Structure 1
Amino acid sequence: EPGGPDAAPIRVYAGVTAEDIALTGPDGAAFRIARIDARDLTGRPTTIPWGETVRALAEGAGRKDAPERSRMAGLAADLIDGLGIGGLEISGLTLAAPGGPAAGPGAKPVLASLARLTYGPEGEAKPGAGNTEAGQPGLGEMRAEGLAVEAPAGRVALKGLTLSGLSLKPVLEGLRRAAAGPLDPAEMRRYAPALARIAVESLDVDLPAQGSPVQGSPTPGSPAQGPGADPLRQASGPLRFALRGGSLAMSEVRDGVPTASRLTIDGLTGAVPPDTTAPLLSDLAGLGYTGLDLSGTVDARWDEAARELTFKDVTLTGKDMGTARITGTIGGIGKEVFDPEPMVSSLALLGASAKSLALTLENGGLFQRFVDQQAKAQSLKPEELQREYGTAAMLGIPAVLGGSPSAKALGQAVSRFVVKPGRLSISAAAKDPAGLGLIDFSTAPSPGKIFDRLTVTATAE
């Protein structure tokens, strides 16, 4: 029967279950699904009956004339908006595909599996999800668990991936907008599906060198490698990294772009091969590091009224290295920065100005390893080299920055940190409320002239 946006939804099925689905291809590929469970499938009568809507969409597929394409967009929006599902769970997905000629002679097949894939209203309690709080109405949550891929190109294992705050509302708005007339390609990002948060649990990636064998070798850290095996030091390839956990939260969307976000990384680990030639890794190997274990946070928000981009927390921590934390505010960031036209957004960034910046360094071992390395190369004791560096900082920093009391205080703080590494805190704020723009930095005759326009404090603990 015909209906429309105000029609009441009708329950089509209370539950649907399918088991043991198997698909095979002519090349020998095999795809299987152990079980599918769906519940509370509902449908709202569309403006024209479902049968006619589906038939019209099928007949209009591939039509290139603008009026027909616009009509199809409106029908699709009405149909999608009228469908609902209370929950979906797919378990036991497996894929086995031949390696193919590109993988080389004798290559083993590509094997992939996914233990469970679920979708439902955000915050709804699900077995094993560990979430019992109610989410926002109309938003969905998708979760994938137990992903494993093994191929000639490498291995990937993922314990869990969660997408929260999912919504097709922007997509439906785009379809309805297309029904009224052609869309400007620059506006397409406004109609992307909404996504509030991405969370990753226990990601492990192992990509061997080209031509290195993968199949049959024991998994790093497995019993086949012996008790106490270290997955960082027993990697089978030159690129092996893992992530204990991470998340990206996004909010306050403007024209499809989130203006507030928080990225968190917990335990990004990887090996540092002793014979590596990579610029940064080779330096770390020279300092005696055999592995990396990094965690960090980036928390930023744009304030439209103040035309400011604030970095509330930018932190990077390395095990046996230390911690660096930055906070700051950049002014002159107007809405033009988010313009879909690259030329407009790029020009808008030229008007940005630095208002404040604070830096905190906490030594956790990296600085001392650097001093020990340099002292050995110069045949000095580490304490002697630290005193030399401290003296250079105390005298050199004020000389470069103009010799003001603030410059001397900065030099003394850096000197104390170098001699006895602990915590160094430096903050700088522009004396001009408008901040310092790009032209101020480019036209300054010396660093001291820029320093004089700042209020700087520095302490060492």
Structure 2
Amino acid sequence: MGQAETRTGKRAALWAAVALIAIAAAGMTGYKIVAERTMSGMIAERGGKVGNVEADFLGRIHLRDVKLPLKDGSEVHIAAIDGRPEIFFLKGMLEVAGLQLKTKLGSVEVPQATVQEANLSYGTTTEIFGGRGDLPLSKRIELFAARRVVAPEILVTQTVGGSEQKLVYRNVVSEGIADGRVSRFSAEGASFEFGVDGNGGEAGGKKRLTGSLGPMTVQDMDAAYLARLYTEKAGPQDKEAKPVYGPSSVKDIVFSDGEARFGYAEIRSSGISMAMTDQPLLETLNALSAVSAPDELPPAERQAYFTRILSIIDMTKKADIEMLGLNMEVPAKDGDKGKKIKFATDRLAIQLDGQTLDATLNGLSMAEGESHFKISEAALSGFSWSPTFKALEQMVALDEQQLESFPFTTLLPEFGTVRLAGIDADLPGSVENGETSPSTAERVRFSLKEYEAALTKPRNGIPTDIRVSYQDLTVPVPANIEEKTLAELRKLGIDELVLSSSLEAAWDEAQQTLVIKEISTSLKDLAGFSFSGVMGGVSGDFFSGDEAKMRVALFGLTAREAELEIEDKGLAAKGLKAYAEQNGMTEDQARGMLTMTSSVVLQQFADEEPRLQDVVDAVSKFIAKPGTFTLTVKSKSPSGLGALELAVASQNPLLLLDRVDIEAVAE
């Protein structure tokens, strides 16, 4: 009896299992029918075609020969799609073969790609590829999630100027795809080839430029926001720029056209932030490409054309890029096939913040044979095209008659500060009619410790604060120099000149003055000269950009005060020594004779004009014992000396003695 009950129990379990399988089979049959019809329907609704749709009993979907048209006339063709949607605990997966995207600009081909652990549930798939027809592309991108998308190869092809351009990426991987973002994009490398003309521009392929890229990575890419930039216009919530890309890097970049070769060790960035515009970027680009002759457009359309250009320029709000280890070799132009011009930089860094740009270049060198030019550092800070941008927005709205009175100086940017350091040059002398001039047979050699130019605080595009200086410009004085002045320097025992100079001036709007803080020149171990002063009557008309107003404003200038300083740093001693040697005298004899002669001449002048006695005494003291001589001249009138008075006094400066206070000091 026990055995009979056991057999009965086994039969019941067997029938239960068969029933469960039957129910599951019926369910999978239903799934198969629904899945095939749904996929075919979604493709047809979008105007596409599919050669075959099949769903098997294991939940997998197979599509063959899929064609989907896009709005702009582009088309996607996929040879095969094999996928599995999310079922119970199993994540979705997708295998794509023979994907090709054809657009007006070119094509993108992906021979094979794998999507791993994707959220390809029935509902999500329907929402992404079907669902509401008004669902924006950015929202569809946000719906898709996957752990990883892998493509062993991606081929990008374009035809520009009749020449085919190819770019091939290898082992492309996108990871952490969720909420419209890609946490990391990478590629093992890439190669490219396209046609260029003899000058390096795009053309019909007279030359082929080939190259390769090493490992590349991009982190935190916001694909959904990118889609919004291209396909949507800014809304009320889009007032601030948002990050589009995070840290990125491309290494081992090499280019060559068969003769010239250049490349970078690495190009990297910490990220790029962009802002939405009033029109989708695709619409803007299409509108711009439809215009072949913008100058021939009616005023309103021309304004719209340039406004679109400005909107694209202003999209990028924050960005930086570093280019490391540039090396370039190009053939020399003198016909010597074996001769190369070599150009290299250690680092170029550019940082954009709104409409302000900072840049730094380190370790620049250029060499050809024995000639070279080097700069250890070049920097630009505070450069801003904000004034230019505002002026352009105003200018494009004007007709031809209004443009005649437009202040074009307002188009100038704020130049900021330029700094150069560590310049060293060894170059050929000047060439006349293909031959080196005998007077310039020596090579041109010089070095510069530092140069700085700051042109800031613009008013109508014209800088109102200026600072230009250089330190230690060193120029050798050749032994066989024929130029008279330099030959005299050699006689003084000077084999090199080391010069420094500075110019600094600022406009004081409240006081209507131009303050000349310093105009100076210094020769190391020789002498120094400096001048400072204050000019009055400097109104805003000087910076109006209106030529007529600027000319009139010149007559309102006044001279208020000026100071001249002369410093001897060894020139007097060298000159005295040379004079003594030429005349067979000792240095003490030469000094005594020159002091006596100058004192007699100066005293005669003082006797004729007693008001200059203090000045004469200071000059005599400086000649007797060279050090520092300072002459200060101030107008007795608070308004200063007018242009007419100065013009008259230019013929006889003594006429101004009653109008100024003069002080002279020798130390």
User: TM-score, normalization: structure 1?
Assistant: 0.82
Deviations 1:416-436 (A, max 9, x none): 111111221211112233333
Amino acid at match of 1:456: I
Query: 2:257 maps to what in 1?
Result: 25
Is residue 2:340 matched to residue 1:109? yes
Deviations 1:334-353 (A, max 9, x none): 33333435565355435433
**2:576 paired residue among 365, 371, 377:** 371
Distance in 2 (CA, whole Å) between partners of 1:38 and 1:48 is 28
Distance in 1 (CA, whole Å) between partners of 2:566 and 2:661 is 19
Deviations 1:35-58 (A, max 9, x none): 211232122111110111122222
- After superposing the two structures, state which structure 1 stretch, 396-405 or 333-342, moved more: 396-405
Spell out the pairing of 1:98-247 with structure 2 (5 A cutoff).
98-100=331-333, 103-105=334-336, 108-120=339-351, 139-151=356-368, 154-182=371-399, 183=403, 187-210=407-430, 237-247=442-452
Is residue 2:241 matched to residue 1:9? yes
Q: Do 1:397 and 1:410's aligned partners in 2 also have CA atoms closer than 8 Å?
A: no
Q: Do 1:266 and 1:296's aligned partners in 2 also have CA atoms closer than 8 Å?
A: yes
**1:50 paired residue among 253, 266, 281:** 281
**1:254 paired residue among 454, 459, 462:** 459
Q: Do 2:300 and 2:397's aligned partners in 1 also have CA atoms closer than 8 Å?
A: no
**2:500 paired residue among 284, 289, 295:** 295
Is residue 2:320 matched to residue 1:87? yes
**What fraction of aligned residue pairs are identical, expressed as a percent?**
25
Q: Do 1:431 and 1:455's aligned partners in 2 also have CA atoms closer than 8 Å?
A: yes
Question: How far did residue 329 of structure 1 move?
Answer: 1.4
Q: Do 2:528 and 2:569's aligned partners in 1 also have CA atoms closer than 8 Å?
A: yes
Is residue 2:289 matched to residue 1:69? no
Is residue 2:550 matched to residue 1:345? yes
Query: 2:661 maps to what in 1?
Result: 455
Distance in 2 (CA, whole Å) between partners of 1:109 and 1:399 is 67
Q: Do 2:266 and 2:324's aligned partners in 1 also have CA atoms closer than 8 Å?
A: yes
Equivalent pairs counted in the alignment come to 422
Distance in 1 (CA, whole Å) between partners of 2:605 and 2:646 is 15
Distance in 1 (CA, whole Å) between partners of 2:480 and 2:551 is 41
Q: Do 1:92 and 1:115's aligned partners in 2 also have CA atoms closer than 8 Å?
A: yes
Distance in 2 (CA, whole Å) between partners of 1:329 and 1:139 is 32
Amino acid at match of 1:449: L
Q: Do 1:156 and 1:204's aligned partners in 2 also have CA atoms closer than 8 Å?
A: yes
User: TM-score, normalization: structure 2?
Assistant: 0.58
Question: How far did residue 269 of structure 1 move?
Answer: 1.0
- After superposing the two structures, state which structure 1 stretch, 445-454 or 342-351, moved more: 342-351
Question: How far did residue 74 of structure 1 move?
Answer: 0.9
Deviations 1:340-388 (A, max 9, x none): 3556535543543322111222211012212222333344443344344
Change beyond 3 A, Cα 1:40–1:157: same
Question: How far did residue 202 of structure 1 move?
Answer: 0.5
Distance in 2 (CA, whole Å) between partners of 1:83 and 1:121 is 8
Between structure 1 and structure 2, the one with the greater Rg is 2
- After superposing the two structures, state which structure 1 stretch, 379-388 or 139-148, moved more: 379-388
Q: Do 1:166 and 1:195's aligned partners in 2 also have CA atoms closer than 8 Å?
A: yes
Change beyond 3 A, Cα 1:263–1:314: same
Query: 1:222 maps to what in 2?
Result: none
Query: 1:36 maps to what in 2?
Result: 267
SS in 1 for 2:533: strand
Gap runs ≥5 in structure 2: 1-231, 433-440
SS in 2 for 1:8: coil
Deviations 1:251-278 (A, max 9, x none): 2211112111222322111111132234
Amino acid at match of 1:450: L
Indicate the structure whose relative CO is greater, using CA pairs within 8 Å and at least 6 residues apart.
Answer: 1
Q: Do 1:109 and 1:151's aligned partners in 2 also have CA atoms closer than 8 Å?
A: yes
Q: Do 1:33 and 1:91's aligned partners in 2 also have CA atoms closer than 8 Å?
A: yes
Question: How far did residue 313 of structure 1 move?
Answer: 2.4
Change beyond 3 A, Cα 1:357–1:384: farther
**2:638 paired residue among 433, 453, 460:** 433
Distance in 2 (CA, whole Å) between partners of 1:4 and 1:152 is 59
Deviations 1:207-255 (A, max 9, x none): 222579xxxxxxxxxxxxxxxxxxxxxxx95321111112223322111
Distance in 1 (CA, whole Å) between partners of 2:285 and 2:461 is 30
Query: 2:535 maps to what in 1?
Result: 330
Amino acid at match of 1:90: M
Change beyond 3 A, Cα 1:44–1:87: same
Distance in 2 (CA, whole Å) between partners of 1:395 and 1:348 is 45
Change beyond 3 A, Cα 1:114–1:186: farther
Query: 1:281 maps to what in 2?
Result: 486
Q: Do 2:254 and 2:261's aligned partners in 1 also have CA atoms closer than 8 Å?
A: yes
Deviations 1:171-190 (A, max 9, x none): 32133223322555863332
Change beyond 3 A, Cα 1:111–1:346: farther
Query: What is the RMSD computed on CA atoms of the aligned residues?
Result: 3.0
Question: How far did residue 290 of structure 1 move?
Answer: 0.5
